[in-house]
Amino acid sequence: MTRVLVTGGGGFLGSHLVERLEGDGHDVFSVRRADYDLTLSESAARLFDDAAPELVFHLAAEVGGIGANRSNPGRYWFANLAMGLNILEQARLHETAKLVISGTVCSYPKFAPVPFSETTLWDGYPEETNAPYGVAKKAVLVGGQAYREQYGLNAVFLLPTNLYGPRDNFDLETSHVIPALIRKMVEAEEVVVLWGDGSPTREFLYVEDCVEGFVLAAERYDGAEPANLGASREISIRELAEVVADVAGYEGEIVWDASKPGGQPRRSVDGSRAHELFGFEARTGLRDGIERTVSWYRSNRVAGVSS
């Protein structure tokens, strides 16, 4: 049994990871923002004193969809950078055996060759609407590598592609594309209006598959280089909307508002490094994952947990 700290343990990915770790028999200390403000160094220090972890998963983040990123660029840059540097410093001071950090596919250059290879991470500036968030996360990668070199901290950095699944954020002001589509199409009657023209592409990773990737990395990977976690399928937002509509049983009109931004033109990752280094491979097909997510949303939205 390992003493494990999960920052962001009450969040979407974190809650699934906590369930997995507890199921595997670990002693898990799960952190919610209400208990510890990780943007403050003294709060992060108190957390590590309280948790005394042997293994840390740093998942806590301030993040949202295109609209939320456009509204909060300064906050997203500051909060994600501050949390990352405080976690790194406390892991060093407390001589934590291993730290697994969640990065973001938003760190990749706007026009990186598809599928994104980790070797191209520094070949350009990220897509503008989420650049502050992506740049902050990329700085945390550099910090982890620097702490490894100078202090011997075993910090591992993972780059999951777009996540989705049960317990996702369905608040239309801050949600990502799949939960937003699901909510709109489950609740709409005649017309659903979507941002952009539907041409951008994305790759989506089911949350339980992502959890498996983090667990495998914690168990098997001790390298300095970042590793993508993906599902090896690129799909346009237009096609994705059609899949969600079909699963949700939505038969109304879909209107594309091309005056709104659509985000990065293409986004899909090369997952070969994660497969070779720690045996990760996504197992949940996109339609199957969307069916599970729609089913969860229908069962939980009345209780208010969907927003």
In this structure, what CATH number is given to the domain that contains residue 163?
A: 3.40.50.720
Structure tokens belonging to residue 140: 């945390």
In this predicted structure, what is the pLDDT of residue 305? 45
Structure tokens belonging to residue 6: 């999960």
Question: Where does the pLDDT of residue 123 fall: very low under 50, low under 70, confident under 90, or very high at 90 and above?
Answer: very high
Residue 144 lies in a domain: yes
CB 133 within 8 A of CB 104: yes
Residue 173 lies in a domain: no
Rounded Cα–Cα distance for residues 180 and 194 (Å)? 9
Question: Where does the pLDDT of residue 244 fall: very low under 50, low under 70, confident under 90, or very high at 90 and above?
Answer: very high
Is residue 220 pLDDT above 60, yes or no? Answer: yes
In this predicted structure, what is the pLDDT of residue 175? 84
- Share the mean pLDDT of the chain: 94
| Encoded amino acid at 304, one letter | G
Question: Where does the pLDDT of residue 302 fall: very low under 50, low under 70, confident under 90, or very high at 90 and above?
Answer: low
What's the distance, CA 177 to chain centroid? 13
Residue 64 lies in a domain: yes
Pick from 170, 240, 163: nearest CA to 206: 163
In this predicted structure, what is the pLDDT of residue 64? 78
Residue 81 lies in a domain: yes
> pLDDT tens, 50-87?
999 999 999 999 987 778 888 999 999 999 999 999 99
Active site residues: 133
Rounded Cα–Cα distance for residues 93 and 216 (Å)? 25
Give the global pTM: 0.92
Q: What is the mean pLDDT of residues 145-150?
A: 98
- Of the given ranges (34-38, 77-81, 153-157, 289-293), which has the lowest mean pLDDT? 34-38
> pLDDT tens, 85-117?
999 999 999 999 999 999 999 999 999 999 999
Pick from 138, 129, 135: nearest CA to 65: 129
- Angle value at C-alpha 14, between 13 and 19, nearest 5 degrees: 105
In this predicted structure, what is the pLDDT of residue 17? 98
Residue 107 lies in a domain: yes
In this predicted structure, what is the pLDDT of residue 262? 81
Residue 117 lies in a domain: yes
In this predicted structure, what is the pLDDT of residue 307? 39
> pLDDT tens, 2-15?
999 999 999 999 99
Task: With H, G, I as helix, E, B as strand and everything else as coil, classify residue 18.
Answer: helix
Instruction: Could you list the beta-strand ranges (E) of the chain.
Output: 3-7, 27-31, 55-58, 98-102, 155-160, 162-164, 191-195, 201-202, 204-206, 227-229, 235-236, 253-257
Its domain, for residue 21, covers: 3-168+203-234+266-284
Q: How many domains does the chain have?
A: 1
What's the distance, CA 142 to chain centroid? 18
| Encoded amino acid at 218, one letter | A
Residue 126 lies in a domain: yes
Residue 73 lies in a domain: yes
Question: Where does the pLDDT of residue 303 fall: very low under 50, low under 70, confident under 90, or very high at 90 and above?
Answer: very low
